[in-house]
Chain A
Amino acid sequence: MEDAEFDDILDDWFIESLKTYKDLHVYQLEHPTQVIEWTSEKTVCVAGYSLSKNEILELRLPLKLFADENKGLCAERDFKVAHGGFTDGPVRRLRHIPGTRCVVTNDGLSSDLQVWDLGGDDSDVIRRTGSIAGRRNVSERGSRIAARLSSPPQILHGAQSSDIQLTELTSGRTLYKLETDSADPLSSLQFVTDAVFLAGCSNGSVCVADTRTSAAPQLSPPPASSGDSVLWWADASVGPHPSSCRVIRLSSSGQAVVSDLRKLGGGAVCQAQLDVQTRCCNLDHVRVSWAPMLDDCISVSGFGGVVQIYTTCGWSMELQERQPLFQHRGHVVSSQQTDDSVPVFTTAHIWHPERPRTLLSAASDGSVHVWDWVDPEQSAAGSPIPRT
């Protein structure tokens, strides 16, 4: 692609991008990643997922992205590999422990976790420092991992709802175990407050529990329309704003259901049929995420090579078809894949925690994009408003 004549480069997407993106950066990793995780304000961790040896990399984002005032004077637009390490197996989940230089990984083959030290200024090597045993030896989908700031550092993990436990990182002591009868495989796990967490199961049910008590978790069954072979993913919106305590559930057929986190038993608040255009038969990489700095805004990836942004404004209880507000087609258009028989699909995406419209996305061809999209709806009504 680099050797193409200029006429080819100035294709429609390229010309469009002058208006549709504020910033756009396209990178090519040596190996594709399934994880993108913030480890600090300016660094992310990525890792390979091939079955044998892989690399974990901590990448520093280009300075140009953060130079607000003198942006023009900063030419630096490359990723810097700040630290790197080697793993013996695939990395399918990676979580940073806030307040530390540690990350915890899972290979998706068992429920055991590996603990890594990202390193400081004196060394650029990421080293494995230990492991945490999970509750089952073989797990089809591996464990989900969640963490929040705590002292001493703790990690919440589990492969299915009956396995979820909170482990102290250094001692390995189990501090909490979720008591539940159901043993459904998890598709998401996250903290909503320091003590309260949400576990989303792939059958569509979600449960909310408090690690300080042994009280039974709050359960919300799968949305009514869910069929047998339908898979679900969930994301909870966290923050002090009252409207931000919501859960969104997305199904493999593109149905999105929003519920109030505080009133899980009360049923859905609104829903929509998203235009996900499934191109993948393997849906291991689906992600749905609330935008941290925009109201009523979600992102979806993993159904094909595109990352879609939707607004939940105007959704009702009727299952209406909704079109995305914005689509990032960069991975499809700039694909470096040599084998055309397997289409490129997105493997991960993540929002920047502070810049309202900046996202990072990764795809199966090893590409990683950093993009800041322009809201096409200029009118006040219906366009996501950045939070102050």
Chain B
Amino acid sequence: MPEINVTPLGAGQDVGRSCILVSIGGKNIMLDCGMHMGYNDDRRFPDFSYITQNGRLTDFLDCVIISHFHLDHCGALPYMSEMVGYDGPIYMTHPTKAICPILLEDFRKITVDKKGETNFFTSQMIKDCMKKVVPLNLHQTVQVDDELEIKAYYAGHVLGAAMVHIKVGSESVVYTVSRNKHAATAWIDKCRPDILISESTYATTIRDSKRCRERDFLKKVHESIERGGKVLIPVFALGRAQELCILLETFWERMNLKAPIYFSTGLTEKANHYYKLFITWTNQKIRKTFVQRNMFEFKHIKAFDRSYADNPGPMLIGKFKRQCSVIMPGYCVQGTIGHKILNGQRKLEMEGRATLDVKLQVEYMSFSAHADAKGIMQLIRMAEPRNMLLVHGEAVKMEFLKGKIEQEFNCYMPANGETATITTNPSVPVDISLSLLKREMALGGSLPDPKKPRTMHGTLIMKENSLKLVSSEQALKELGLNEHQLRFTCRVQLQDPHSDPDTLHRIYTHLKSVLKGYTIQHLPDGTVMVESIVIKVSSSAEDSNAKVLLLSWSYQDEDLGSFLSTLLKKGLPSGLC
């Protein structure tokens, strides 16, 4: 039976170091190559020894596909390609390709330079690894080779995140990490892959509405301003900056607020640049407003100059006193000041040994967009996969979700190193010649039915990409070949004193009693026929009491022919008349 094998090397019944091997139609694909952020030793890398104990991975993998730039999905990529060894193509979207090396380098710096670890990839390795990257455009089919094709779709989540559709022949797999509401869903509607691989991490979350998050954000901002304080909002995420600006601008208008809002200019140009580069990757809302107005042409939001910091009165962004606040709208990487402040640190050590006291109020607000329980079920029901496979979740916390999915679909949940073998039932469409179809229909019986398959005989012609079923005569004609008939002949020695005709008659009687249900004829030309098998009797030249039986049959009656020759070799029973 044809099958697809899926083996997680990381994120199987676990969270972190996402790395999933898929074997489909003879092709081996690695989905993601992440780092487990919770370990400091080799456990942070996926276990590549599963693929091969020694040697490079190039021979064993047809391609690697990276879904998005988070380190638990791409953090082990330079290690895999440069330290273990892989020279084949690595596919990822353009934004992922732009952002990955930045995060990898940051991470390398913190791990090697700050923490002093040694068995780690170098800056050069990151560069060499990125040279192997083949960028993907959305909705564009990429032929990895003659048989394997892949296509990327918008997944929402973070900038550049993609859902991937992998196809070999008529078998397909879709891989998705946390899809959010804004992901393009039309394409996935009833795409019916053989397997849908999805993360289960957020399947147990029920998200608070975006509206409430925005409400809290505006409430904090408003309270600070009312107290006469200043508010600083450090923003890294590209889409967030603009979204928050629009939100604040609209709020200011509605509430008739006068306090100035400043935006750091350093970020402006870089942000604008990246924006233009990746505009197709942002959601509809941002794209629409970006087109309508330049990002920084707001009424209440102005470019920031350091000298403003000392201005009296409330403002958004500036020098900090106790009534001031910092609102962090996103995740801060470990090792940064932001991360320390969010962990409650009130004293910061700066370079040059100076310490700063954190006196202002800190607010951490999460605006990150990822799917939740409802989102995952929606995705599964839309895609209608033949099988579902869950990764990136702890086994204990996935049982309920598995049970829920199993009410409608098959569901697998392999652990790291465990292979889930999924049998597929690929239907291969074949054209049938009209004459062959007519002949089959003339044989009678019920009409062809998917539940009651009917065996039929014909010749399959595979020409380029088309498959055709024709009758054997037509096939021979097309090929310009003659039809050959095969007949087998066999001689059997028999001890029998009777005359030739008598012996023949005795054979006829014997066969009639043994082979009930078969057509047995004693023909006037001196032969006995059993179906198409011809039996002749002649006297032996050497021995007068011996007879030589000549049996001949066409290849269709091979079985019966062999049976008859074995039977007759045993001789005739004595009681025959």
CB-defined contacts of B416 to chain A, threshold 8 Å: none
- B contact face: mostly helix, strand, loop, or mixed: helix
- Stretch in B164-172, B212-220, B508-516, B521-529 touching the partner: B212-220
Q: Which of these, A26, A62, A70, A124, contacts B204 with CB under 8 Å?
A: A124
B174 to nearest A CB, angstroms? 22
Digitize A60-86: 1 where CB-to-B-CB distance is under 8 Å, 0 elsewhere: 001000000010111111111111111
A21 to nearest B CB, angstroms? 8
- B181 within 8 A of partner (CB): yes
- Contact status of A25 and B212, CB under 8 A, knowing A10-B250, A15-B254, A30-B374: yes
- Stretch in A1-9, A152-160, A195-203, A245-253 touching the partner: A1-9
- B363 within 8 A of partner (CB): yes
Closest to B211 in A: A9
Which residues in chain A, 13-34, are within 8 Å of chain B measured between CB atoms? 14-15, 17-18, 24-30
- A59 within 8 A of partner (CB): yes
A10 touches B251 (CB 8 A): yes
How many Å lie between the Cα of A79 and that of B205 in the bound state? 6
Q: Which of these, B213, B255, B344, contacts A77 with CB under 8 Å?
A: B213
Closest to A62 in B: B208
Digitize A22-53: 1 where CB-to-B-CB distance is under 8 Å, 0 elsewhere: 00111111100000000000000000000001
- B362 within 8 A of partner (CB): yes
Q: Which of these, A9, A28, A123, contacts B399 with CB under 8 Å?
A: A123
CB-defined contacts of B214 to chain A, threshold 8 Å: 9
A53 touches B407 (CB 8 A): yes
- Contact status of A18 and B222, CB under 8 A, knowing A10-B254, A24-B212, A81-B204: yes
A85 touches B400 (CB 8 A): yes
B364 touches A74 (CB 8 A): yes
- B127 within 8 A of partner (CB): no
- A231 within 8 A of partner (CB): no
CB-defined contacts of A79 to chain B, threshold 8 Å: 205-206, 208
CB-defined contacts of B374 to chain A, threshold 8 Å: 28-30
How many Å lie between the Cα of A140 and that of B209 in the bound state? 37
How many Å lie between the Cα of A123 and that of B394 in the bound state? 11
CB-defined contacts of A25 to chain B, threshold 8 Å: 208-209, 212
Q: Which of these, A30, A62, A70, contacts B373 with CB under 8 Å?
A: A30
Q: Which of these, B247, B342, B366, B403, contacts A125 with CB under 8 Å?
A: B403
A128 to nearest B CB, angstroms? 13
- Contact status of A27 and B255, CB under 8 A, knowing A18-B215, A18-B218, A81-B400: no
A78 touches B207 (CB 8 A): yes
How many Å lie between the Cα of A83 and that of B181 in the bound state? 24
B490 to nearest A CB, angstroms? 68
Using a Cβ–Cβ cut-off of 8 Å, how many residues does chain A contribute to the interface with B? 46
- B372 within 8 A of partner (CB): yes
- A55 within 8 A of partner (CB): yes
- Contact status of A1 and B400, CB under 8 A, knowing A7-B250, A18-B218, A28-B206: no
CB-defined contacts of A14 to chain B, threshold 8 Å: 211, 215
How many Å lie between the Cα of A197 and that of B315 in the bound state? 59
B396 touches A123 (CB 8 A): yes
CB-defined contacts of A5 to chain B, threshold 8 Å: 285
Closest to B364 in A: A75
- A180 within 8 A of partner (CB): no
- Contact status of A26 and B373, CB under 8 A, knowing A10-B254, A124-B396: no
A179 to nearest B CB, angstroms? 43
How many Å lie between the Cα of A10 and that of B401 in the bound state? 36
How many Å lie between the Cα of A30 and that of B222 in the bound state? 34
Which residues in chain B, 361-381, are within 8 Å of chain A measured between CB atoms? 361-366, 372-374, 377
- B397 within 8 A of partner (CB): yes
How many Å lie between the Cα of A10 and that of B365 in the bound state? 19
- B246 within 8 A of partner (CB): yes
- Contact status of A17 and B215, CB under 8 A, knowing A28-B206, A59-B206, A81-B373: yes
Digitize B107-129: 1 where CB-to-A-CB distance is under 8 Å, 0 elsewhere: 00000000000000000000000
Using a Cβ–Cβ cut-off of 8 Å, how many residues does chain B contribute to the interface with A? 48
- Contact status of A75 and B206, CB under 8 A, knowing A18-B215, A124-B396: no
A84 to nearest B CB, angstroms? 4
- B404 within 8 A of partner (CB): yes
CB-defined contacts of B207 to chain A, threshold 8 Å: 27, 78
- B454 within 8 A of partner (CB): no
- A339 within 8 A of partner (CB): no
- B487 within 8 A of partner (CB): no
How many Å lie between the Cα of A25 and that of B396 in the bound state? 28
How many Å lie between the Cα of A7 and that of B398 in the bound state? 40
- B468 within 8 A of partner (CB): no
A44 to nearest B CB, angstroms? 12
Q: Which of B209, B214, B398, B407 is packed against the most chain A CB atoms within 10 Å?
A: B209
- A122 within 8 A of partner (CB): yes
B181 touches A2 (CB 8 A): yes
CB-defined contacts of A29 to chain B, threshold 8 Å: 206, 374
CB-defined contacts of B377 to chain A, threshold 8 Å: 30
CB-defined contacts of B203 to chain A, threshold 8 Å: 81
- A121 within 8 A of partner (CB): yes
B285 touches A3 (CB 8 A): yes
CB-defined contacts of B363 to chain A, threshold 8 Å: 72-73
A55 touches B404 (CB 8 A): yes
Q: Which of B204, B213, B361 is packed against the most chain A CB atoms within 10 Å?
A: B204
- Contact status of A6 and B204, CB under 8 A, knowing A75-B365, A78-B372: no
* Closest A-B pairs by Cβ, 6 of them: A84-B400, A75-B366, A79-B206, A26-B209, A81-B204, A72-B363
Q: What are some 29 contacts across the A-B interface (CB < 8 A)?
A: A1-B211, A2-B181, A2-B210, A3-B284, A10-B254, A14-B215, A15-B255, A18-B219, A24-B212, A25-B212, A27-B207, A27-B208, A28-B206, A28-B209, A30-B373, A72-B362, A73-B342, A75-B366, A77-B208, A78-B207, A78-B208, A78-B372, A81-B206, A84-B403, A123-B399, A124-B204, A124-B399, A125-B399, A334-B211
Binding site for B on A (CB under 8 A): 1-3, 5-7, 9-10, 14-15, 17-18, 24-30, 53, 55, 59, 62, 70, 72-86, 121-126, 334
Q: A27-B207, A73-B344, A121-B396 are in contact. List 19 more A-B contacts (CB 8 A).
A: A6-B246, A7-B250, A9-B211, A9-B214, A17-B215, A18-B218, A18-B222, A24-B216, A26-B208, A72-B364, A73-B342, A73-B362, A73-B363, A78-B207, A81-B400, A124-B396, A124-B400, A125-B400, A334-B211
